[in-house]
Amino acid sequence: MTKPDTDLYVSWTDYYSQVETLAVQIYESGWTFNQIVCLAKGGLRIGDILCRLYDCPLAILAAASYGGQHNQERHGLVFSRDLTMTTANLGSHVLVVDDLVDSGITLERSLQWLTSHYGFYIEEMRTGVLWYKSTSVIQPNYYVDFLDNSPWIHQPFESYERITPQQLAQRHQIQKAANSLDCDRPSA
């Protein structure tokens, strides 16, 4: 459900539907790739699902550009020192995935980072995201939704940024107690 021009709220069901739509779009393009690089944190789930579907190795490039309250404040872009991957070398045809392009700076600089660190392996790179905002300086090769009004996207996993492990444990204790009460009730 959306609030016009300000917020887009995404459920788990909608999120996975978006990822599947992206996977089909890439498949139907006919492009063959032999490596997926996901940008962490937002691209982790997408990269995981795509590497399972395509049976293709996954590499992770950690990048951070947001922080502050509810991770909604843009900060300087920071990259990990290296890729995390299980293969000896990066593939030659690389699909770079993230959840969205807002300003597009993270995706654009990630491509530059990959080229400067692994360019000798790479013959071609393409990009895929779920949401492509009109405010982006780069257009991804594959995207599910183009967002002309550039809303703030509330993804289902963001709830974990607003809860502590202690609060989660308390919630689980309450749920266990409620389930225990339901089991103790006689059947009708």
Q: Evaluate whether residue 157 is within a structural domain.
A: no
DSSP per-residue string spanning 101-143: ESSSHHHHHHHHHHHHHHTTT-SEEEEEEEEEETT-SS--SEE
Categorize the per-residue pLDDT at 1 as very low, low, confident or very high, splitting at 50, 70 and 90: very low
Q: Answer whether residue 137 shows pLDDT above 90.
A: yes
Instruction: Decide which of 17 and 178 is more confident.
Output: 17
pLDDT in tens, 114-123: 999 999 999 9
Instruction: Decide which of 85 and 188 is more confident.
Output: 85
Q: Evaluate whether residue 170 is within a structural domain.
A: no
pLDDT in tens, 2-45: 444 689 999 999 999 999 999 999 999 999 999 999 999 999 99
Categorize the per-residue pLDDT at 182 as very low, low, confident or very high, splitting at 50, 70 and 90: confident
Categorize the per-residue pLDDT at 185 as very low, low, confident or very high, splitting at 50, 70 and 90: low
Mean pLDDT of 104-110: 95
Q: By residue range, what is the domain housing residue 93?
A: 10-149
Q: Tell me the CA distances in angstroms from 184 to 38, 135, 173, 174, 176, one per residue in order.
A: 47, 55, 17, 15, 12
Q: Answer whether residue 104 shows pLDDT above 60.
A: yes
How many domains in the chain?
Answer: 1
Q: Do strands 152-154 and 7-9 pair parallel, antiparallel, or not at all (unpaired)? A: parallel
pLDDT at 30: 98
pLDDT at 68: 54
Q: Evaluate whether residue 179 is within a structural domain.
A: no
CATH of the domain at 79: 3.40.50.2020
pLDDT in tens, 36-82: 999 999 999 999 999 999 999 999 999 987 555 555 556 678 888 89
- Please name the residues in contact with 122: beta carbons below 8 A apart, sequence gap of 6 or more: 90, 91, 92, 93, 94, 114, 115
pLDDT at 3: 44
Q: Answer whether residue 100 shows pLDDT above 80.
A: yes
pLDDT at 2: 41
Q: Evaluate whether residue 55 is within a structural domain.
A: yes
pLDDT in tens, 122-134: 999 999 999 999 9
Q: Evaluate whether residue 160 is within a structural domain.
A: no
Q: Evaluate whether residue 158 is within a structural domain.
A: no
Q: Answer whether residue 103 shows pLDDT above 80.
A: yes
Q: Evaluate whether residue 180 is within a structural domain.
A: no
Q: Evaluate whether residue 108 is within a structural domain.
A: yes
